[in-house]
Structure 1
Amino acid sequence: MVGTVFEEITLKNDGDVSNARRGLIKESEVRQTTVQVVVDTGAATLVINEAVQKTLGLRIDREKESRLANGEWVFCKVAETVRVCWKDRSMTCEPWVLPGADLILLGAIPLEDMDLMVDPKNLRLVGVHGDKELGMLL
């Protein structure tokens, strides 16, 4: 897709991250996966598919109605919290689980929280205030 920004991110079950910090599980037991996402500034948050939800062992907390880019209204599930990691940055959010989705979308809220923006010339993510090391926890 011309003009589309793809990035690789790591998603971690945030409950597992918390349990590892408390010493309840080993860090190697944190359920995580690295996926390619489409950076979508028109999407509100992180949108994952059911396969990623199952890989991370995320419970569904609730459902919400949402409008897709094509104008169609759908019900999507909202899962428990994940930690989104990109290079030296991370944030947590409740991902929307869209049944049958092929693509994982990284939306505006995670981008803003990690202080990231799209470099339209080079079609990549960059730090809004540079790419200095910010130090990421777990």
Structure 2
Amino acid sequence: MNISHAGGNGFNDGFREIRTAGDIGIMRGAEGGHQSTREETKMGITYADLRLANDARDDLEELNACAVVDTGAMHLCIPEHIALQLQLKTRSKREVQTADGKSHLVDYVSPVRISMLNRECVTGALVIGNQVLLGAIPMEDMDLIIEPAKLRVSVNPLSPNIPVSMAKGVIK
């Protein structure tokens, strides 16, 4: 996992790095923020670069992170050292079931600002694991999609300029 302070080189330089099981190369990325600037793929797993910040503390620097993108997970998950660096407040404890079927009692921290592809959202995060995991809720909030054939994260092509959200209820 790569974590550095915002403003480091390579984050918005127009290149994306692609790694597959048998091939390593660097390719020119698309301009205009319609795909992530760096993606790694290993056995079908999508990774994407994003920035994390404490939305209540503008005096703290943002962190760059490489996140596993998983629409099967609901929340943003961050390692403990990121929660400490961003000085996030623990709001509550949550019981979390991981892929191996085990339950864990973890901290739920906030407010985390996620920025990527010229989109951002503010959310809470579960403090668990050793790398950042971007789940379905923040992806929906930023109106992002995964392109499965290309194993990359992109903005929703139906709303390329501004995120679209649904605010409809059942009318009786």
- Matching residue's letter, 1:16: R
- Equivalent of residue 127 in structure 1, options 131, 144, 155: 155
- Equivalent of residue 70 in structure 1, options 94, 97, 100: 100
- 1:116 and 1:103 mapped to 2: Cα distance? 20
Percent pairwise identity: 30
In structure 2, runs of 5+ residues without a counterpart are 1-41, 164-172
Q: Which runs of 4+ in 1 moved over 6 A?
A: none
- 2:122 and 2:76 mapped to 1: Cα distance? 10
Structure 2 matches for 1:15-34, cutoff 5 A?
A: 15-17=56-58, 29-34=59-64
Kept in 1, the 8 Å contact 2:117–2:155? The answer is: no
Match of 1:5, SS?
strand
> Bigger radius of gyration, 1 or 2?
2
Kept in 2, the 8 Å contact 1:31–1:55? The answer is: no
- Matching residue's letter, 2:119: R
Q: Which residue of 1 aligns with 2:169?
A: none
Q: Which residue of 1 aligns with 2:146?
A: 118
How far the C-alpha of 1:46 sits from its partner, in A, is: 0.2
- 2:158 and 2:65 mapped to 1: Cα distance? 24
How far the C-alpha of 1:132 sits from its partner, in A, is: 3.1
Match of 2:45, SS?
coil
How far the C-alpha of 1:70 sits from its partner, in A, is: 1.2
Match of 1:52, SS?
helix
- 2:159 and 2:68 mapped to 1: Cα distance? 20
- 2:155 and 2:117 mapped to 1: Cα distance? 11
Match of 2:56, SS?
helix
- 1:55 and 1:133 mapped to 2: Cα distance? 32
Aligned residues: 122
User: TM-score, normalised on structure 1?
Assistant: 0.82
How far the C-alpha of 1:133 sits from its partner, in A, is: 3.6
Kept in 2, the 8 Å contact 1:84–1:91? The answer is: yes
- Equivalent of residue 12 in structure 1, options 49, 53, 56: 53
In structure 1, runs of 5+ residues without a counterpart are 18-28
- Matching residue's letter, 2:91: D
- 1:130 and 1:36 mapped to 2: Cα distance? 26
Structure having the higher helix fraction is: 1
Match of 2:154, SS?
strand
User: TM-score, normalised on structure 2?
Assistant: 0.67
